[in-house]
Each structure stands twice: as C-alpha cells, then as structure tokens.
Chain A
Amino acid sequence: MSKFLDTQFSITGIKNFDVPTSYSKYDLVDFEYFTGNFKDPLNLSGLYAWFNLDNLNNLEFDSSGRVYKWYNSAVGHEIGEDLHNENTVVDTRPLYDKYRNCITFEASISDIPYKVNYLSTIGDGFNNFLTGDRCWFIVYEFESLRQGDYGYPIKPNIATIIDTDLYSETRYPTNCATSGFLSISGNNEIYSWNTNVPTASQQFIINPTGQSENSPLSVNSAFSASRVIKNKNIVSIIKNNNTNNLRLRNNGYELLNLTTEHFNSGCSGLRLGSAVNSHANNTLNADYNYDGSNISYYEILGFAKVPSDDDMLSIEKYLFEKHFTNDDGLYIAKYNFTASDYRYAPINITGEDYLTKNIDSVFNKTYGCSANFATKAARINYGDNYYTNVISSINNLNTEFNLQYNGLTDTQARCLIGFFQNTFEYTPKTIVDSYENVNIDLFFPYKNNSKIYFSDLQYNSAEANLNSINIKCLSAYDSNLDYRGYQVTGKEVTSFFDENKAFYKNDIVYYKTNVESEKGYYWYTGIDNTIPTHNQRPTGNNSLFTRSFYFQPDLDFQMSVSPKFIKTEFDSSAAAFENYGINKTSLEFNYNLSNRSDKEAQAILKFLDVNGGFKIFEMTLPSPYNKKIDVYAPEWNHTYKFKNNHDISIKFLEFKGLTDSDIFFNTIIKL
C-alpha cells in the first residue's frame, strides 16, 4: 500500500493485492493495477501508432458531427497512418462521446445490408509493421454484442476489436491463418460452450474461419478475463515476428502465449469498428459472419517492437491509471479466497466475485437508520407576519442520512471504518467534479443506488467483538424538481391514477390532467379496497383523495400559541404594549407521528418529499383547535425503528395570506 494511502487511515492491517495471496472475508485489500511506475508511451521506443483523446484536436468532425479522422499522435507518422473514413455514406463514420471521452462505433443489423462504422489507415498503413515485431494495446468497451443466427443452433456474432490485415483480401478465406484480426465471439450468457470460464466472459477470436466451438483452434481458445460489455478493458497483443510467439493479455491476465503466424508479416494496417475483408458479406461464410458491434475506443497504442515484460506492464499501467478512475484503491474481500492469478483482480470477472466496493453486498444496515431533511429556502419576511420562501437552487433540501450498522464483529468494524475513510480518497471523474460519491442503497422508503457522500463515522464498542457504527452521509445531487420526487421515488409512490384500480388508505397516485393547478400527487383517504367513482377521483366533487396533510399526530401532542406584540420599554419607565399588525399569531409547532406502519410512513414521507420543504399546503389542526390552516414543513426527520414501525417528526410553520380566511374579516381593521 502506498504511504499516501496509509496516512489517511486510522486502522491497520490493509493488505496489498498480489498473486498468489490468500485473503479472508472482510479483509481490506488495496488494489493497484500493477506495482511500479507507469511509463509515458513517448518514452518507449518503436511507437508508431498512438490514438488518444487527450485533445479534441486529435479528431476531425464532418458537418454532421461525425468523426472522419482520428490523428495518430505518434511522432513522425505519415498521413496514411492516421485513421480515416472518407466514405461518402456519412453514417459509416463514428461519433465522439464527450461524456465518456471515447469514440463510439455503431453497427445496425436492421439495415440491409447492415451498416457499420469504421475508421482505418490508408495504403499500406504502418510500413514498419510489414515485416517486424509489433504490439498493440487497446482500451475499448462494447456497448452490446450483436446477436446473430448464423449457424446451428445459435451462433453469436463475431464482433471486431481491431483488424490489422487490411490489404490481404485474397487471403480470405483460404489463408486466414496469418490474419491480424482480433474480435469477440458472442455472449456466452446466452450461448456458451465453455463452462470452465465465468459467464459474461467472451471468447477472443483471432482466426475467424470458424472452427467448432467444442474444439477451437488454440488461438481461439482464450476467454476474456474481464467483462467486455459496458465495461472498459485493456487488451494487449504482443507478437514476435522472428519466433512467431504471440501473447494475448487482458487486464493484466495473460490469456495466450503460443507460437502462431497470426499477426505476422503483412498485418500492417489498422481498422476500428469492423473488419475489412467483406466479412459482413453474406456470401462469404455466413455461418461465421463477423463484423462490427457497438464498440467504443478510448486509446490505442502500437509499437514496432516486442517490449520487455517491464515495459509491457508499464504501458498497461499507464492505460489503467488514465482510463480506470477509481477502479484501484481499497476493496473488501467478500469471501475467504486465494488470488492465484490476475483473474482475481477486482477489475476482472472472477475478481468481482471476491472483491467489492459495494458495502451493501457485505454489510447489513440495521434498524435505527434515520434521515433528517431541512430546506435551504430563504425566508423573506414582510410586515404583519407575511413572508415568502425563496428557493435559490434546484437542490433546496439538505438531507442527512444516518446509516446504522449494529452487531458488527471486530473484523467487520475495522473493515467498515477502513472503507469509510477510503471514500475520501476517491478522485473526481472530471476536473470540475467533486470526488466520486458512494453508491449505496438507502433504507425504506428511500432510493436505492443513491449517490451520497460520507461525512462522519461514530464507532461504539459494546463488548469484545460486538460493535456498532453510525455513518452520517449527505445526498448532494438529488433534486425535487423531478416529478417523481426527491428521495421517495419508488414505483409504488409514482404511479399514475388508474380509475379501474381498487385503492387502499394512504395509497399515492400522480394525477395527470390538463389543468395545471390540479396536476400532481394525491393521497387516498377512503376505506380500503375501493374503486373510486367519477366523483371520488382526485378532482371529483366527493373526492376520496387529498393534497392536504391529513395524517394525525400522536395523542400526546403539544402546540403553543405565541401572538406577536410590540413591547416598548425604557430604562426608567414601565413597558408599553402595543398591537402587532393583523396577523398576530403565526403558529410554529411540531408533530410527532410515532410507530407508523410502512404504508403510512411512506405516504407521510412522500407528502413531505413532494412539498420539498417550502411548498404551502393545508392541514386541519387537531382538537381543540380544529382550524384549517396553511403551513409548510421546512424540517422533518424519520427513523426506521423496526419492521413496519417508523417514527417521524415534522416542524410546521403557519403561512398567512394564501386562503380565503385571510381575506374576509369580521372586524374593521384600522391600519
């Protein structure tokens, strides 16, 4: 573990990821892609191809915004060694994805003949590759793999990663044994012939002539160590042209190391997105039809040499550090296991099963979790107890969640403390972002997969090997401008009103209507299992639905009345008391709603969530007051006490000036 990391932790015992090493469940494992320092590609001789997106000037866009040129950043390269697409059919050109900083190539099977995007070198491409050693490092990601029915029973599509064998069309299909082609075959979650590899692992195809899956050519026997769909990964191809040694590596794990003529002399071009040899042509061996799928490229490096192992690791490290933000760092061991090789790295499929950053998969949140909400609305006061709430941003609610982790063993407590502290180590994905948030499932009835930031941790020791931890966390990026709401957004609380549905008390519906003032959420207050009539619908004359706060507080509630008055007092005189305006009393009170069921708690919290801490709504005060008033709820908190048992407390402030009651007076007011 690096010294920088170690200084950030209050616990000890963090292990480095290494192979072969054994780990125990709840071990904290510091994963770095490889030890040592990365090497800038410019510092390694033989650089001929370097396609990166460090600068948008590396791309040329056509008038439709598509990319028709990706400049080679290798020093001294020729024009033909850039990647081009001068095809007059512009939708064969890829697109630049500014959010992911990659170039995306699409393949459309629905078009006949189907369309693929591509970029390729011109002419003989890389002249120095015609006869010499070579290696490629590619950072790519498949969005999806085109499924095909190209054989019996279902032969998935073969999807190109790179084709370096552009100008040897005559070889195909008779002399493919020397082709410089790398692709992925199918998706073995649907179609699998190799049960020895994890599902989601994809077969790498170098020789696309289509051998039987049950006895593939040795160059086609490798399965990816990492997920290739919706997941960045690095593939490295190292070819010694003298010994014909070919090595294929994926995310640090060596998949192949054998002698073969593939990627041999003549494989001197580069084509991305699809293969060139009319492979998409159905007349050519359609059973093994291979070409493009939806693929994105982040960076590609080519060297005219066989790098040393150290150089190879340095370049892989360089790509990893650059493109795998926050994939390194601290992981939690989910099980006892031995990392026998780099398939167990957490960025690979096997490693995902054993190492995780998802604490929901390792720790149980326990009863006692709570949430506190407070509005950031600015209150502007006028005379006579009138005021308005001004919302200064789309995120007007401050939300703090307290996550309770009870019943932890010493080992678990150490692990959770370490994980907590490590979240402050995350790096931002872009220079203007905050450091990366934690994805976590909150608790009922709040969002799953919420993006939060940890802020405080409170540790308590109850006994040897019995501990509890409370983590405070903040929600930063949720906005209640979303019609679904702010934090209470589940399907059961965002459904549209259905006039054929039977309703139960505290059901929540979203009522769509052209009348803007009547649009929104309503709460059902009738008896259970009722299909409302037309008049009982949310805007009906005898509606069983309401937008008022109809929930009752506990029997033991308090409410103080503190009318305003003006008291003028000098040092040497008795105080003088004067009337204060027309709205002397503006109530400020709290409701406690204890021991409420899941359903009622969800309805209450959704009500507060919808009103966002500043919107005005009606409520009828309990006896002996019994008056209907307008209020807003700037603060509330909620505790999940036990299953089907919630405590909620809400602060209400009375709002004057909205309803008819303030307009009609029985007394003449003299101002």
Chain B
Amino acid sequence: MTKFIKYENLDFRINSNTFYSTSIKISLQSNIQPVLLADGSLLRYAPQETVIGGLSIEFYLTGSLPNYLNVVGSSETSVNCDFGGITINNCYLKSLSFNATQFSPILLTADFDWYGKINNANSTYSLSNKSIGGPSGPSGPVEYLSQISHSNNSYILDSSNVFGFSEIFSYSYNESCDRVPFFANDEIVPFRVAKINRAKSVSVDGNYFKKSNVSDIEGTDSICDLYLNDYNNNLLNTFNISGKIDARSLNIDVNGLLQSTLSINQRVAPLRNTL
C-alpha cells in the first residue's frame, strides 16, 4: 500500500520570517540535450543551461508585506527559504498574486526560481498558530485567525472612476516579472538574476458596467489602490496599479446571473540611472 508522509504544522520561512502557509511546492528542471554523432551513436546528454528550480507557496499574510516580496521593485537579491527540513539559499521572486472574494480569507501566492543546492536544515514540526508571527511587522504571533489577510475589510479603490461597477464581487491582483540568470564562465549558480518584463495586473468582477466609451484603441487609463486588511480591519499592505483597462467582458450564466469582468495591465518601466 502506498504510504504518504503527512506534514502538519511545519514552518515555512523566508529569510527566517515564518509565514502562515497552506501549501508549498518545490520542483526542479534540468535542460539537457542528446548529442548524436556522425556514426549514429549517442555521445552524451549535454547541459544547455543550469538546473532551474521552482518554488511556489500559498500563505496568509499576518503582518505587513516584507520588502523582499516586492516583485516589481528594483531589488534583485535572493532570499533564503526553509521548509520541511531543507534550505534553499538562492530563491528569486518572480510573482506575487492574490484573489479576494467576498467573506473569504485572502490567500497570497508567491513563485520563485531557485538555483544551486537544496541543503538540510533544522525544522520545527510542532508549530501552532500562536508561533506564527507577521513576517516582518511588529504584530507579533497570530493568536487569532482574525489576524490573517481577509476580504472582509479589504477593498479595491477605483481612483480614476472608470470601472463603472456599482458592485464588485471579487478582484485579483498579480505582479510578476521574468527572471534572467547570468552565469560567470565555469559556474552553474548565477551571479545575477535580473528582472525583466516587470508588470502588474488586476482583474475585477462586478455587475453590469455603466460605461459606454469602453473601446478606446489605446485602452482606458486606470489608477486604483488595493487595500489588503486582516479581518479586524488592520491594514497589512496597500498595492496599487496605474495602467490601462485593456479588456472587458459581460457574462450571463445559466442561472441568469450577470457578471462583468475587466482587466487592468501595467507595464512597470523603471528608468535608467543617469550616471
């Protein structure tokens, strides 16, 4: 009979900060190519690139969002992740997202690329809610589930007043970038993992949009702020987007419910330094 190892009450840490995570996924992918010779024989499998690992976590935010989870910021430094007795030292954040629907806790998803080795590390196997503190804030241990990110008091503010919804059912936020590794000759761990294609996007579900001029070929300017609060209305973090509404849809399902969706996209364009 297949046996599963069940992990419960494990801590997941980023840079030694514990996160109230619900799932963690680690993967790795090598990039090799068979080399065939003129006589038809197989010479070898040649590495085309280093082994790239993936790390995906889902967690509830229990304090302010630490700076190292800023995807579109200028910092390209790596973080250390500990989980289930292993440590990965060179994890590079490439996306952070969440989805807020009514009366639900808000689960954040973060995706990382990692390089190098997986190392053994001490891990706690008897974690309780009380020992999970905010990742960087002074909020202290989570004593009540009311201290996790929750849609009850979180909201999106349409500052430019272009949504046209009288009611918002749900919304999601995503910020992402591509991470490009650069290797010194003879090395398989990158000396720099640059951020390119930095972008933010927001998708909003609401009722019928009372707007007529929605087909501008250059999109519609939109600025909005997303306030991520815990259940008790303590502000955890504010996200913002200043982009273009580039898609809308209107759906009526078999139950006769009408739902409208719009998406906002922003290409984050950091300026060059004037040297």
Nearest chain-A residue to B273 (Cβ)? A410
User: What 5 new A-B contacts, CB under 8 Å, besides A644-B46, A644-B47?
Assistant: A367-B185, A407-B180, A407-B191, A444-B186, A464-B272
**A62 CB → nearest B CB, Å:** 54
- A641 within 8 Å of B (CB atoms): yes
Task: Report the minimum CB–CB distance from B71 to chain A (whole Å).
Answer: 15
- B183-A411 in contact (CB<8A): no
Give, as a whole number of angstroms, the nearest-CB distance from A370 to chain B: 12
Contacts of B138 in A (CB 8 A): none
Interface residues of B in 249-275 (CB under 8 A from A): 269-273, 275
Q: Does B23 have its Cβ within 8 Å of any Cβ on chain A?
A: no
- Any A CB within 8 A of the CB of B33: yes
B247: Cβ under 8 A from any A Cβ: no
- Report the nearest B residue to A594, measured CB to CB: B35
B218 within 8 A of A: no
Contact mask for chain B residues 35-68; partner A; CB cutoff 8 A; 1 contact, 0 none: 1111111011011111000000000000000000
Residue in B48, B188, B194, B271 whose Cβ sees the most chain A Cβ within 10 Å: B194
Complex Cα gap A366–B194 (Å):
14
Q: A626-666 interface mask toward B, CB cutoff 8 Å, 1 = contact, 0 = none?
A: 00000000000000111111000000000000000000000
Number of interface residues of B (CB under 8 A): 36
B38: contacting residue among A12, A552, A596, A597, CB under 8 A: A552
Contact of A444 among B38, B183, B185, B269 (CB under 8 A): B185
CA distance A522 to B272 in the complex (A): 54
The stretch that binds B, out of A50-58, A186-194, A553-561, is A553-561
A-B contact pairs, 15 of them (CB 8 A): A364-B185, A365-B185, A366-B182, A366-B185, A369-B185, A407-B182, A407-B191, A407-B194, A410-B273, A466-B194, A552-B37, A552-B38, A553-B38, A643-B183, A645-B47
A546 at the interface (CB under 8 A from B): no
Query: Is A595 engaged at the interface, CB distance under 8 Å to the other chain?
Result: yes
Question: Would you call the interface of chain A mostly helix, strand, loop, or mixed?
Answer: loop
Q: Which residues of B contact A466 (CB under 8 A)?
A: 180, 194, 196
Docked Cα-Cα span, A110 to B163, in Å, equals: 93
Contacts of A595 in B (CB 8 A): 33, 35, 43-44, 46, 48
Interface presence of A517 (CB below 8 A)? no
Q: Is A497 an interface residue (CB 8 A)?
A: no
B184 at the interface (CB under 8 A from A): yes
A contact residues vs B (CB 8 Å cutoff): 11-13, 364-367, 369, 406-407, 410-411, 414, 443-444, 462-466, 552-555, 557, 594-597, 622-623, 640-645
Partner of B48, one of A11, A369, A464, A641: A641
User: Is there contact, CB below 8 Å, between A555 and B36?
Assistant: yes
Instruction: State whether A462 and B196 are in contact (beta carbons under 8 Å apart), knowing that A364-B184, A367-B183, A410-B272 are contacts in the complex.
Output: yes
- Please report which residues of chain B, range 169-186, place their CB below 8 angstroms from some CB of chain A when the two chains form the complex: 180, 182-186
Q: How far is the CB of B53 from chain A (nearest CB, A)?
A: 17
Residues of A within 8 A of B275 (CB): 11-13, 410-411, 414
Chain B residues close to A by CB (< 8 Å): 33, 35-41, 43-44, 46-50, 74, 180, 182-188, 190-192, 194, 196-197, 269-273, 275
B33: chain A residues at CB < 8 Å are: 595
Please give, as numbers and ranges, the residues of chain A lying within 8 Å of B50 by CB-CB distance: 642-643
Going nearest first, the 4 A-B pairs with the smallest beta carbon separation are A407-B182, A595-B46, A364-B184, A622-B38
Is B39's CB under 8 angstroms from A623's CB?
yes
Q: How far is the CB of B94 from chain A (nearest CB, A)?
A: 15
Residues of B within 8 A of A623 (CB): 38-39
Which of B49, B185, B271 has a CB less than 8 Å from the CB of A443? Answer: B185
- Residue of chain B at shortest CB distance from A466: B194
CB distance from A642 to the nearest CB of B (A): 6
Is A407 a contact partner of B270 (Cβ separation < 8 A)? no
Q: How far is the CA of A410 from the CA of B74 in the complex (A)?
A: 13
**Min CB–CB distance A639 → chain B (angstroms):** 12
Bound CA–CA A623/B188 (angstroms): 37
| Shortest distance between the CB of B101 and any CB in chain A (Å) | 35
A623 to B37, CA, bound (A): 11
A643 touches B187 (CB 8 A): yes
Q: Bound complex: CA of A414 vs CA of B274, how far in Å?
A: 11
Do B194 and A463 have beta carbons less than 8 Å apart?
A: yes
